[in-house]
Chain A
Amino acid sequence: MPSADRRGLHRSVAWLGLLVLTALAAPWLSPHAPTAQLDLLTLNSRAPSWAHPFGTDAYSRDVFSRVLHGARISLFVGLAAAALNVGLAGVYGAGAALAGGGVERAMRRLLEVGLSVPRVLVLLAVTAFWDQLSVPSLVFLLGATGWFPVARIVADATAALVRQDFVVAARATGVPALRLLRMHLIPHLVPLLSVSATFEVANAIALETGLSYLGLGLQPPTASWGTILHDGASTLGTSWWLTVFPGLATVLTVLACHALGDALRDLFAADHVATGSTTTLLSPVLPVPPASRP
């Protein structure tokens, strides 16, 4: 594979790796506590300086410290929601395809009902009635509302997979159902699930930021990128640093997740070309790139 194709992978992995390290080390890296009001009278709404690289907000809190701590929340929400999402989608989608017959038809209808309801609308409706949304309940909400499209892809991929010769051949040699799932089906769904997961991390982070910005997600004084944006929205004209830094962090992270997903997809597709593996059935998610010239 030409190195140019891997550049996206390297950059996104570098940014996400840095972000994860920063998030983990936030308590030691950040100069101040995220909710500490340093000096309400003299240190409020200061522009970026050496002492406060991202400036301070109206409550004299250090924005740099808040953005670092916000990374912890954003990443946790993104990863946990994606895990829940892909887990639900995998179990439901594969279950539907393996059940077959009337059960599969009913489960797919139900999936279409879920798909027809706009996710953002559901989130807005539910969070609007929720006074104090905790991080776990936000993760649950994001995870529980986003798995329908992934479940449908998993169901289609599984249905195609069970028709593959090697799965029929494995059944013909008497491989029991659970072992069939573990040895012959799940390994072939891993590329699809991992690519879906990276995209879902991006979705969940963007949604968390959006909801918190609207004041419907996490509540102040919790430092998340969304709540910082929320604080800065009213003073956008005067205190630009309140919105620019958490906004940049969000955009870069979402972009990096998408780039990582694309790169993973290319990687799996190239792997498929090299080994002749039967993951062609994942073509809606894993398109085979045009043959690279020698």
Chain B
Amino acid sequence: MPDSPLLDVHALHIAFPSAEGKVRAVDGVSFTIERGESVCLVGESGCGKSLTALSLLRLVPSPGAIEAGSQITFDGHDVMGMADEPLRAMRGHRMAMIFQEPMTALNPVLTVGDQIAEVVRVHSAATRKEAWARAVAMLEQVGIADPGARATQYPHELSGGMRQRVMIAMALIMGPTLVIADEPTTALDVTIQAQILDLLRAMREKTGMALLLITHDLGVVAEMASRVIVMYAGRVVEEAPVEALFRAPTHPYTEGLLAAVPRMFAEQERLHTIPGSVPPPDAWPTGCKFRDRCAYAFDRCALEEPALVQVASAHRARCHLVQEPERRHAQGAEAGT
């Protein structure tokens, strides 16, 4: 089925047990990723984006669990219904993940070469020697100088940028069709961030893999994504092609995120901020979950939660303002005076 998307997530719910029953950290998230597409998942800390990423590999940390009714279809396979062995065979082979903090995501007592070779060994019949040779070749591909010597070193002997290159080598060595990168540059300093993003982009162009990049950095989004999914409090609040999102953000949360990006040459004294923070899952308000922090909130927002409605082609937003656009201008004018 060449027409079906590579990844189709439908009505994903992730819940954690709590003192008062269950708390939903991810609440009905649906999205798709096409083959070779680069999608960014954006949101503040605590909005459920990392959990969503982990759920794609069915690695939600216990006691959290993906609830029944959630559907994840990857490359025509039902991930939710997969038995242990096919699931294991998929992980790292066809769908791979790059973690945020390469220092803690690498095993400190194994050499980086061993860790990359391990991925080859568990997914193919390669001998120890062949796997090692492939690991060294992969290290060279991700831009590590003197890969033969580096492969024999331990994670603590490498710099942060090199460690993240090792993580990328581990994720890409089996040639996955989808790579999930969970804030891959957050733990790195700015110059290294740019290098790592360049590397990811180059590898994507070379292999044609799809990329789901999780970030809270809109600068990264502008550089890497063709499509953006904005999450807030466990829900998708806006979804749009990257140009449309930057040109015409529809959800007030997206608007706030864009306004919070520092701009050169802009005449503003203080950086715009969105007041407050994402409430924890057990303290989500009724109706629209963003209304407590929204400048446009009106009575309808407390009564009913908006649906994800079409704004333009391939552009959807979860906000009542889509149907009542005059309120945005009225409120905006009020706020401006």
For window 276-292 of chain A, which residues contact chain B by CB distance below 8 Å?
276-278
Interface residues on B, range: 20 to 34
Contact with B along A86-122 (1 / 0, CB 8 A): 0000000000000011000000000000000000000
| Contact between chains at A172 and B91 (CB < 8 Å) | yes
The residues of A that contact B88 with a CB separation of less than 8 Å are 174, 176
- Shortest CB distance B332–A (Å): 43
Name the CB-closest residue of B to A275.
Answer: B156
The one of A100, A163, A179, A277 that contacts B122, using a Cβ cutoff of 8 Å: A179
CA of A276 to CA of B157, assembled, Å = 10
CA A270 to CA B89, docked complex, whole Å = 38
Considering the complex, which residues of chain A in the window 219-268 have a beta carbon less than 8 Å from any beta carbon of chain B? none
Q: Does B15 contact A (CB under 8 A)?
A: no
**A173 cross-chain contacts in B, Cβ below 8 A:** 91-92, 96, 118-119, 122, 170-171
CB of A69 closer than 8 Å to a CB of B: no
Could you say which of A168, A169, A176 has the most chain B C-beta atoms within 10 Å of its C-beta? A169
- B118's partner among A101, A175, A188, A275 (CB-CB below 8 A) is A175
Alpha-carbon separation in the docked complex, A171 to B88 (Å): 8
A166 at the interface (CB under 8 A from B): yes
Which B residues touch A184, using CB under 8 A?
A: 107, 110
Question: Is A175 touching B122 in the complex (CB atoms < 8 A)?
Answer: yes
Minimal Cβ-Cβ distance residue in B for A170: B107
Picked from A168, A169, A171, A278, the residue with its CB within 8 Å of the CB of B108 is: A278
Q: Is the CB of B90 within 8 A of A166?
A: no
Minimum CB–CB distance for B72 against chain A, Å: 15
Chain A residue nearest to B120 in the complex (CB)? A173
B261: chain A residues within 8 A (beta carbon): none
B59 touches A276 (CB 8 A): no
Q: Give A38 Cβ to nearest chain B Cβ, in Å.
A: 56
With most chain B CB atoms within 10 A of its CB, the pick from A165, A166, A171, A173 is A173
Complex contact A166–B119 (CB within 8 A)? no
**In the bound complex, CA of A163 to CA of B62 (Å):** 9
Q: Mark B211-253, 1 if CB is under 8 A from A, else 0.
A: 0000000000000000000000000000000000000000000
Q: Which of A166, A171, A175, A183 contacts B104 (CB 8 A)?
A: A166
Q: Does B97 make an interface contact (CB < 8 A)?
A: yes
- Could you tell me if A278 and B59 are in contact, using CB atoms closer than 8 angstroms? no
Interface size on A, residues (CB 8 A): 25
Q: In the complex, what's the smallest C-beta–C-beta distance from A169 to chain B, in angstroms?
A: 4
Check B154 for interface membership: any CB of A closer than 8 A.
Answer: yes
Q: Which chain A residue shows the least CB distance to B103?
A: A276
Is A294 positioned at the interface, with any CB of B under 8 Å from its CB? no
> Is the pair B90, A169 in contact by a Cβ cutoff of 8 Å?
no
Are B109 and A169 interface neighbours, CB within 8 A? Answer: no
Cα of A170 to Cα of B155 in the assembled complex, Å: 14
| B156 close to A169 (CB less than 8 A) | no
Task: Answer yes or no: B300 CB below 8 A from chain A CBs.
Answer: no
Instruction: Flag whether A2 is at the interface (Cβ < 8 A).
Output: no
Nearest-neighbor residue (CB-CB) of A279 within chain B: B108
B118 near A165 (CB under 8 angstroms)?
no
Chain B 92-114 interface mask (CB, 8 Å, partner A; 1/0):
11001101010111111110000
Task: Please give, as numbers and ranges, the residues of chain A lying within 8 Å of B106 by CB-CB distance.
Answer: 166, 169
Evaluate contact between A166 and B105: CB separation under 8 angstroms: yes
Which B-chain residue is minimally distant from A164 (CB atoms)? B104
Please give the distance in Å from A98's CB to the nearest CB on chain B.
11
**Complex formed: what's the CA distance from A164 to B118 in Å?**
18
Evaluate contact between A174 and B123: CB separation under 8 angstroms.
yes
**How distant is A165 from chain B, measured CB to nearest CB, in Å?**
4
CB <8 Å contact, A166 and B107 = yes
Q: Which residue of A lies closest to B54 (CB)?
A: A168
Q: Mark B115-129, 1 if CB is under 8 A from A, else 0.
A: 000110011000000
Q: Is the CB of B91 within 8 A of A183?
A: no
Task: Give the docked Cα–Cα distance between A69 and B280 (Å).
Answer: 67
A164 to B57, CA, bound (A): 17
**Chain B residues within 8 Å of A274, by CB:** 156
Nearest residue, chain B, Cβ from A173: B92
Give min CB distance, A168 to chain B, whole Å.
6
CB of B325 within 8 A of chain A?
A: no
B109 touches A188 (CB 8 A): yes
Q: Which residues of A contact B54 (CB under 8 A)?
A: 168
Whole-angstrom distance between the alpha carbons of A18 and B102 in the complex?
46
Q: How far is the CA of A100 from the CA of B171 in the complex (A)?
A: 28
Please encode chain A, from 163 to 203, with 1 for each CB lying within 8 Å of some chain B CB and 0 for all others. 11110111111111001000110011000000000000000
Q: Could you tell me if B105 and A169 are in contact, using CB atoms closer than 8 angstroms?
A: yes
CA distance A175 to B101 in the complex (A): 19
Instruction: Decide yes or no whether B61 CB sits under 8 A from chain A.
Output: yes
Asked if residues B61 and A168 are in contact (CB atoms below 8 Å), the reply is yes
> Contact at A174–B90, with CB atoms within 8 Å?
yes
Q: Do A172 and B59 form a contact, CB below 8 Å, given A179-B122, A276-B103, A276-B156? A: yes
For the complex with contacts A166-B105, A169-B99, 9 further pairs of A-B residues with Cβ separation under 8 Å are: A163-B61, A168-B99, A169-B170, A172-B57, A172-B91, A174-B123, A176-B122, A184-B107, A278-B108
27 contacts between A and B (CB under 8 A): A101-B62, A165-B104, A166-B104, A166-B106, A166-B107, A166-B108, A169-B97, A169-B99, A169-B170, A170-B107, A171-B59, A171-B91, A173-B118, A173-B170, A174-B88, A174-B90, A174-B92, A175-B118, A176-B88, A176-B122, A179-B118, A183-B107, A183-B110, A183-B118, A188-B109, A276-B156, A277-B156
Q: Which 7 A-B pairs have the closest CB atoms?
A: A173-B92, A277-B108, A174-B92, A174-B91, A165-B104, A169-B105, A165-B105
- Spell out A's residues near B (CB within 8 Å): 100-101, 163-166, 168-176, 179, 183-184, 187-188, 274-278
